[in-house]
Amino acid sequence: MSVLWHTEGKGDEDLHVHHFYRIVESQIRRMGLADEQSIRCVLPASPLSYHGHLITVRWCIRMRLFLSDGRKIMAEQPFNLVSPVVEDQSGPLSVVSPRKRDLNSKANDSADEDAAVMLGS
């Protein structure tokens, strides 16, 4: 299982695996692939998700299964990595300097709490 970002658009396409977790066959058998699974890692401050005319930066969780007969199965769950927004005491909203955020198993509405992404079956 990987947490990664990749670019699309003009120029060279980039891909960076931020977090990798290998699950061995015995763990997979105990898990039950039909059940929801969660992954937890600290996300970096950048690059933030971006959807522009010339380039797009996409984050996702990717699961790849390598079967004993040589076949490969891949599933992705995209998510947006955004900078947290807080209300400034002067009234309007301002962007807080990017900091590390957590990818957790439970979704929360608050920007200060953990963000969640579940890879469903």
Per-residue confidence (pLDDT) for residue 36, from 0 to 100: 77
pLDDT at residue 110 is higher than 80: no
More confident residue, 73 or 88: 73
Instruction: Provide the residue type at 7 as one letter.
Output: T
Identify the pLDDT of residue 29. Answer: 78
Q: pTM for the whole thing?
A: 0.63
Provide the pLDDT confidence category of residue 69 given band limits of 50, 70 and 90. very high
Among 44-58, 64-78, 93-107, the least confident range:
93-107
pLDDT at 94 over 80: no
Instruction: Grade residue 31 by pLDDT with cuts at 50, 70 and 90.
Output: confident
Q: What is the mean pLDDT of residues 37-53?
A: 90
